[in-house]
Amino acid sequence: MTRIIIPLFIVAASAGCSNLADRFGIERAQPETASASAEVAAPTAAPIAASGSSAEALDTTTAAEREAATRAPTSAGSALGTTVVSLGSAAEPGLWLKTPLVKSEQPGRVTNPATGKSAAVTLIPLEGPSTAGSRMSLPALRLIGASLTDLTMVEVSAEG
């Protein structure tokens, strides 16, 4: 009886799972008769972490904008706190930080204590408690020397 139940259970459990090999991390052998035209197309955008040129291509800020953002501030801003940042939408241009540390859009500055680098950004309100994380633009992350794939603790201050 168990000889019938176990195979039936395996068949039922894997029914509709054409990607069962993918779920278990097993590579499928590609048929040797497949031609180049039958190959599956690669994704249109390479992951940012896979290639520095992809991140550079997505960074639409000009050299002048980057230089202006990294200039030392003319006056001391008021500290708003620290937050953990991750990469926001890489397709959204500009130097910005979406954070629950502000209630209205305003100019600000983020500093990466690990590198000592800072950048002027636009602080944009983000729903959530002030202890929640924040999202930063790709160009801003690059300017402060933060990883595009890791979480980074930054200091945030309002400018002006």
Contact 94, 61 (CB under 8 A): yes
Q: Compare 137 and 24 and report the one with higher pLDDT.
A: 137
75-90 pLDDT per residue, tens: 667 999 999 999 999 8
| pLDDT tens for each residue of 99-121 | 999 999 999 999 999 999 999 99
Percent of the chain with pLDDT over 90: 46
Question: Which tops the pLDDT comparison, 92 or 5?
Answer: 92
CA–chain centroid gap for 6, Å, is 44
pLDDT at 8 over 50: yes
pLDDT at residue 40 tops 90: no
Min mean pLDDT across 14-23, 128-137, 140-149 is at 14-23
Q: What is the CA radius of gyration of the chain?
A: 24
Query: What is the spatial distance between Cα 40 and Cα 52, in angstroms, rounded to a whole number?
Result: 24
Q: Judging by beta carbons within 10 Å of its beta carbon (0-12, 13-18, 19+), is residue 31 exposed, middle or buried?
A: exposed
Residues contacting residue 93 through CB under 8 Å, at least 6 positions apart? 60, 61, 137, 139
Q: Which has the minimum average pLDDT: 5-14, 16-25, 117-126, 139-148?
A: 16-25
Please, are residues 68 and 147 in contact by the beta-carbon 8 Å criterion? no
Q: Give the CATH number of domain 51-158; options: 2.40.40.10, 1.10.760.10, 2.40.30.10, 2.40.50.100.
A: 2.40.40.10
For residue 122, pLDDT beyond 60 = yes
Q: What is the pLDDT of residue 4?
A: 59
* Cβ atoms of 96 and 121 closer than 8 Å: yes
Cα–Cα distance for residue pair 60/154, rounded to 1 Å: 23
Q: Locate tokens 């402060």: which residue?
A: 144
- Rounded to an integer, the average pLDDT of 36-49 is 38
Report d(CA 122, CA 67) in Å as an integer: 15
Mean pLDDT along residues 33-52: 39
Specify the range with the lowest mean pLDDT, choosing from 17-21, 71-75, 84-88, 150-154.
Answer: 17-21
